[in-house]
Amino acid sequence: MLNFAVMKKFVLILSVLLAGAGSVFAQKSKNHNFEINRNLEIFSDIYRQLDMYYVDTLDADTVIGWAIQSMLRQVDPFTVYYSEDNMDELKTMTTGKYAGIGAVVRFIKKEDRVAIDEPYEGTPAYKAGVKAGDVILTIDGVDIKGMPVDKVTTMLKGTPGSSFVLEVRRYGVEKPLTFKIVRENIQLPSVPYYGMLPGNVGYIVLTGFTDNCSKDVRRALVSLKEQGARSLVLDLRGNGGGLLSEAVEIVNFFVPKGKKVVYTKGKVQSANVEYTTRKEPLDTVMPMAVLVDRWSASASEIVSGSLQDFDRALIVGTRTYGKGLVQTPREVPYNGSLKVTTSRYYIPSGRCIQAYDYRHLNEDGSVGTVPDSLTRVFHTAAGREVRDGGGITPDVTITSNDTLPSMVVELAVNDVVAEFGNWYVAQHDTIAPAASFDVADEDYAQFVKMVKESGFTYNKRGRELLKLLTKTAETEGYTEEAREALNQLDTIFKGNLEADMERNKKEVKLLLNDEIVRRYYYQKGGIELRIREDKDLKKACSLLADEKAYKEKLNIKD
């Protein structure tokens, strides 16, 4: 029997998604409005008939949910519908807050269970004594064996102040451990690290543009200046963006009041907004570099692009993602929300850095990008050439040849690294400071032994290609002629584990160092360890140390 309440809910939601709650998506063409109404009526009738006549009972939320998601895939990947059940996800994305225990979890295949991967310092999990590597047995008496990560995560979250009992198995401890944990509002750190580097260089890592993150950046900047910082590196690598308003606040720390940082243009008048700096800055002269990579997007590109357009900072790294679209949350019926792309943004030089054209796909269905030959030239305040249409191109591009061998990449996602972490912690009560820690050779030998005993295999892609090549040789009748060559390739792709572990020892130890340091010093320690081998950061610092070269690159006149 047709559930008319569910039907009404769907029609209302779909009407908002397609018709856009009245004037937002209003079209001048009467024919366009007719097409909307006609297609909504057809869809509604098809679902009604499926519900009445289809041989099996349909689940309305599932079927119509698929329809909504399929529709949204036709626009861009940033326009997303959040049902009432998923509103926490949107809240966490924009505010960086959620109610839970404050720990990252991962699935351990051998255990068929979820384990604690990393508790955040100062959170309920940390205060209760939960450790990385603890395998979860039960949550409030419910056995979680076989449960996927998302379901376990939902069970760990809850109302602030509510409590539950967590039972875990810890390596080297005979009996299970139980912890009573009180859930709290967790604020994910937007600035997990800041500190002083050699040469009086201040260093700030910003991981996301969540609500009030600018206050964290401000505190870090003030503290670094008090410690004697004479130049600054702002690290936006891997920062996928967030709130536009927070990006403007951060730019305002470094440029004068009254400067237009970004403006947006959309279909309706309300989407056309100018954002200017409204406060007196903290520092407009300190030499500054901004680190970016291909995962720096959206608000990260507003900050880096604006500082580039104002000639206020050197941008160092690789070209950014190229997301010049702005999303606005809009309410939909039944307590849901639609995060919809409402405008494009333009930074001070007038350029839009959107790289992908989601409305005009390539013939193979892939998303088209603006070729470099079709990008337009704009100019910074000092007259330097910059371009639109493809992210922020750094002032100093760093090309890396540090391609990791497949063995190291596959080890990074293998459970044996976490198992080694469990073993190591059981053997060592303390370790050296994060910045100087290095796994000893004898401990590395133990890891090699554990890898061999785990049955770890690698070069998976190579072996898959070899199978395809072998099959092709059989199909084309070249089996005998190709046999010797195929056997040689088979030997190569099987690899020699001990030899490869020795050959790639430096890279593997970096992986192990990170695993161990985070067990003792948490997220901050992991960053302190990374700084030691960070070539991009070292390059930025060397640029800041050379005053003449710095001014020449920014076209600064004395």
Q: Which of 190, 296, 298, 306 is catalytic?
A: 298
How many beta carbons lie within 10 A of that of residue 511, not counting itself?
19
CA dist 17 and 511 (Å) reads 45
Q: Known catalytic residue: 298?
A: yes
State how far the Cα of 44 lies from the Cα of 61, in Å rounded to an integer.
Answer: 14
- Partner residues linked to 396 by β-bridges: 316
Confirm if 44 and 63 have CB atoms less than 8 A apart. Answer: no
396-397 vs 314-317, strand pairing mode: parallel
Active-site residue identified among 117, 293, 309, 388: 309
Rounded Cα distance between 350 and 441, Å, is 55
Tokens of 439: 């796994």
**Distance from the first to the final alpha carbon of the chain:** 80
Q: How far is CA 525 from CA 416, 438, 441, in A?
A: 22, 13, 21
Is 343 annotated as catalytic?
A: no
Which of these, 310, 389, 376, lies nearest to 349 by C-alpha position? Answer: 310
CA separation, residue 160 to residues 82, 99, 120, 297 (Å): 22, 6, 17, 32
Pull the structure tokens for residue 66: 């698929």
Q: Which residues contact 418 (CB under 8 A, 6 or more apart)?
A: 106, 108, 115, 117, 132, 133, 515
Q: Which residues contact 378 (CB under 8 A, 6 or more apart)?
A: 309, 349, 350, 351, 385, 386, 387, 388
Q: Among 120, 128, 257, 133, which residue's Cα sits nearest to residue 190?
A: 120
Distance CA 387, CA 26 (A): 33
List, in sequence order, every beta strand (DSSP E) within 189-230: 193-197, 201-205
Q: In 25-167, which residue ranges form alpha helices assigned H by DSSP? A: 30-53, 60-72, 87-95, 124-128, 149-156
Stated as kind and residue range, the H or E segment containing 336 is strand 336-346
Cβ 511 vs Cβ 418: under 8 Å = no
Place of tokens 């004037």: 23
In terms of Cβ atoms closer than 10 Å to its own Cβ (0-12, 13-18, 19+), residue 385 is exposed
- Token pair of 287, please? 């030499």
Among residues 131, 259, 323, 339, the one annotated as catalytic is 323
- Based on the residue annotation, tell me whether 151 is a catalytic residue of this protein: no
Measure the CA–CA gap between 200 and 536, rounded to whole angstroms: 17
Active-site residue set: 298, 309, 323
